[in-house]
Chains A and B, each alone.
Chain A
């Protein structure tokens, strides 16, 4: 644990030095903010959940970034096509001893190495979660800020809309949206190769496979549409409480522009609960997108989406595919567990009751 803390503070100090060089006086103005960050890092690295979560998140992020490059098999080639004789033995279970060239971790029904697929799967899962959470947070925060700060009719309108969205079971709505979108998006992507190439690069997929990329796009757009209401709600609530506080009134009296008040005064004050929401949502988004892929709403084969892999394994379960479910499931578990632990530890840092004991132990 100490290593984590030491290395992260070194990084933080280097960053501070850099800022200072470009912007002299920055250190003085942001001393307390730096202190706060160091405290957060301390809390994260000394609590067992925090440290474990941090390690898991860093590992899975590393795998997401470099997995596709490190994986040793392309995902869109089916070994069984080249070697039809294999068909009877597929999917092939993992084998420890020499099994005539079959991979250690077992294959899927097309003969592809599961582990290699999973390495690519991390990228898809994490990019998907990131896009979903960042986009819905941005949308939700914006709407919540506007709704809470301006009040009146705008507030009513936005809140009624949010309530209607929230009244729906999210899963059903997401399914409906993704089905709606996938067909129209297919056409959009086929005509727009630049966009397709960009998305393909993000997910480490073959840009020629436009329909599948459209499927993925429809999935995360659908989830974004369902995901933003809680953010709007939370942000609006916080803004309402903050609005009544003296310093907002003072800022207005000083003539600060609305934009400035929102970004420099209100937003930083609500960043703590938002950050906690964000980390937990990363975990939930990973699981939700996997669930929807499992139901067949996301990418189709040959894309190595973790949920899809498990779904395909379903018909051969259990004797002929238990390793697929185990390995892919474990990968998903690592991703969500890491973010959940991180969120747990962060929540303790921001909770004033537990915060005190952390502060005193840190003695920064």
Chain B
């Protein structure tokens, strides 16, 4: 009961935050003293009739709050259209977001798989070589400019050794897509969740058993994932190490040892206590991966949502900007919620 009301409270503050986020972005874009419609159409087609039509369609003559309301309404009802391409923005976003999620998952996996074991080893063998290595790794990792690393990794693993693909993203077959749709329609709740999960190409392929898609996804995504993930691994290892060392020197660990508990039991106490603060960091990190992979998507040629939104912003594409902001704030709010839930599950003190 404590958990349920806690969740309810969090969800209720959701709506005002999102609206606030949308408003800020819109106002920013609105302040730009140029004619966005001109920018959308580009330098080529300066047909005054088309310009006028677009202006009317997007309510540019109306006061700013009407324009804002119009855009939000279109967004919420899924009818928002991208003026430069004439297609539905929402469709673009829902097509591209799962790919960004896929990239984020790969990157997150690398960060966690490298960072956490390193951090645990550094804590267990204090002041040893592993400890020094973690310090240096963390330091260098946060000093290398990401885009430089990306280029060199591409040089190493794609140019010299063709160990990775660089174009397109493998996706499951049509029949698989149909099957997932069927799940969504047919089975209540769980079906919907399964369908949503399956939108991420690799999960969808796994669910349909299309293993060739799975393996080619790995071939395509491991390099960008590694590139995006390895730099943060050092930082994570450092944080894990410090958190574990704090936990290991606590009085409850002394008490555990004084009770003659085995090393395994003692470490279980230390790990449980040490990881609670790390959950927050990991959650925020994942949210950051979902919203900030613009450079990686550009360099590695991945058709994700980050690149789409960046292009939208640079072309003053209001509908895209609004949609993008909505998505990003959604990501952060959901992520915060997830972190809070996981934290409440781990730490009983938080539940009230």
Does A touch B (CB under 8 Å) in the complex? yes
A-side residues, CB < 8 A to B, are: 49, 164, 167-172, 175-177, 179-180, 183-184, 283-284, 287, 290-291, 294-297, 307, 310-311, 314, 317-318, 322, 325-326, 328-329, 332-333, 336-337, 340-341, 344
Residue of B142, B145, B294, B328 with highest tally of chain A CB at under 10 A: B145
**Distance between A59 CB and nearest chain B CB, rounded to angstroms:** 15
Closest to B333 in A: A167
Which of B34, B151, B309 sits near A317, CB closer than 8 Å?
B151
Q: Establish whether residues B151 and A341, one from each chain, have CB atoms under 8 Å apart when the complex forms.
A: no
Q: Establish whether residues A325 and B316, one from each chain, have CB atoms under 8 Å apart when the complex forms.
A: no
Q: Mind listing 10 A-B residue pairs with CB under 8 Å?
A: A169-B332, A172-B292, A176-B25, A179-B32, A179-B314, A180-B28, A295-B310, A310-B151, A332-B148, A333-B145
Closest to B249 in A: A353
Q: Establish whether residues B314 and A344, one from each chain, have CB atoms under 8 Å apart when the complex forms.
A: no
**Distance between A197 CB and nearest chain B CB, rounded to angstroms:** 25
Q: Establish whether residues A340 and B142, one from each chain, have CB atoms under 8 Å apart when the complex forms.
A: yes
Q: A172-B313, A310-B147 are in contact. Are A291 and B291 (CB under 8 A)?
A: no
Which of B24, B144, B148, B288 sits near A325, CB closer than 8 Å?
B148
Within 8 A of A (CB), among B269-291: 287-288, 291
Q: Establish whether residues A179 and B313, one from each chain, have CB atoms under 8 Å apart when the complex forms.
A: yes
Q: A171-B294, A340-B139 are in contact. Are A183 and B329 (CB under 8 A)?
A: no
Q: Establish whether residues B146 and A337, one from each chain, have CB atoms under 8 Å apart when the complex forms.
A: no
Within 8 A of A (CB), among B121-149: 135, 139-140, 142-148
Q: A164-B20, A318-B159 are in contact. Are A336 and B145 (CB under 8 A)?
A: yes
How far is it, in angstroms, between the C-alpha of A176 and the C-alpha of B298 when the chains are bound?
18
B-side residues, CB < 8 A to A, are: 17, 20-21, 24-25, 28-29, 31-34, 135, 139-140, 142-148, 151-152, 154-155, 159, 287-288, 291-292, 294-295, 298-299, 309-310, 313-314, 316, 321, 324-325, 328-329, 332
Q: Which residues of B contact A49 (CB under 8 A)?
A: 135, 139
Q: A171-B292, A172-B309 known; 13 other A-B pairs, CB under 8 Å?
A: A49-B139, A168-B24, A169-B292, A172-B325, A172-B328, A176-B25, A183-B32, A284-B142, A294-B295, A297-B314, A307-B145, A311-B147, A333-B148
Q: Establish whether residues A290 and B145, one from each chain, have CB atoms under 8 Å apart when the complex forms.
A: yes
**Distance between B171 CB and nearest chain A CB, rounded to angstroms:** 26
**Distance between A233 CB and nearest chain B CB, rounded to angstroms:** 14
- Number of A-B pairs, beta carbon distance below 8 Å: 118
Q: Establish whether residues A283 and B310, one from each chain, have CB atoms under 8 Å apart when the complex forms.
A: no
Which of A283, A297, A310, A322 sits near B143, CB closer than 8 Å?
A283
How far is it, in angstroms, between the C-alpha of A173 and the C-alpha of B111 when the chains are bound?
25
How far is it, in angstroms, between the C-alpha of A159 and the C-alpha of B139 when the chains are bound?
32
Q: Establish whether residues A176 and B142, one from each chain, have CB atoms under 8 Å apart when the complex forms.
A: no
Interface residues of B: mostly helix, strand, loop or mixed? helix
Q: Establish whether residues A287 and B21, one from each chain, have CB atoms under 8 Å apart when the complex forms.
A: no
Q: A180-B32, A287-B145, A295-B295 are in contact. Are A168 and B324 (CB under 8 A)?
A: no
Q: Which residues of B contact A175 (CB under 8 A)?
A: 310, 313-314
Q: Establish whether residues B148 and A329, one from each chain, have CB atoms under 8 Å apart when the complex forms.
A: yes
Q: Which residues of A contact B294 (CB under 8 A)?
A: 171, 295
Q: Establish whether residues A179 and B145, one from each chain, have CB atoms under 8 Å apart when the complex forms.
A: no
Closest to B287 in A: A169
How far is it, in angstroms, between the C-alpha of A180 and the C-alpha of B31 when the chains are bound?
7
Q: A179-B313, A337-B140 are in contact. Are A291 and B146 (CB under 8 A)?
A: yes
Q: Which residues of A contact B20 (CB under 8 A)?
A: 164
How far is it, in angstroms, between the C-alpha of A295 and the C-alpha of B310 when the chains are bound?
9
**Distance between A341 CB and nearest chain B CB, rounded to angstroms:** 6
Q: A180-B31, A183-B34 are in contact. Are A317 and B155 (CB under 8 A)?
A: yes
Q: Which residues of B contact A311 (CB under 8 A)?
A: 147
Q: Which residues of B contact A344 (CB under 8 A)?
A: 135, 139
Q: Which 9 A-B pairs have the closest CB atoms?
A: A329-B148, A169-B291, A337-B143, A336-B143, A318-B155, A332-B145, A171-B292, A325-B151, A340-B143
Closest to A225 in B: B28
Q: Which residues of A contact B29 (CB under 8 A)?
A: 176, 180
How far is it, in angstroms, between the C-alpha of A164 and the C-alpha of B28 when the chains are bound?
14
Q: Establish whether residues A283 and B152, one from each chain, have CB atoms under 8 Å apart when the complex forms.
A: no
How far is it, in angstroms, between the C-alpha of A294 and the C-alpha of B309 when the chains are bound?
17
**Distance between B91 CB and nearest chain A CB, rounded to angstroms:** 21
Residue of B20, B151, B309, B316 with highest tally of chain A CB at under 10 A: B151
Closest to B295 in A: A291
Q: A171-B292, A337-B140 are in contact. Are A176 and B313 (CB under 8 A)?
A: yes
Q: Establish whether residues B143 and A318, one from each chain, have CB atoms under 8 Å apart when the complex forms.
A: no
Q: Establish whether residues A322 and B155, one from each chain, have CB atoms under 8 Å apart when the complex forms.
A: yes
How far is it, in angstroms, between the C-alpha of A332 and the C-alpha of B24 when the chains are bound?
33
How far is it, in angstroms, between the C-alpha of A328 and the C-alpha of B31 when the chains are bound?
35
Q: Which residues of B contact A307 (CB under 8 A)?
A: 145, 147
Q: Which residues of A contact B316 (CB under 8 A)?
A: 179
**Distance between A186 CB and nearest chain B CB, rounded to angstroms:** 10
Closest to A163 in B: B17
How far is it, in angstroms, between the C-alpha of A184 and the C-alpha of B146 when the chains are bound?
31
Q: A168-B21, A168-B328, A183-B34 are in contact. Are A283 and B145 (CB under 8 A)?
A: no
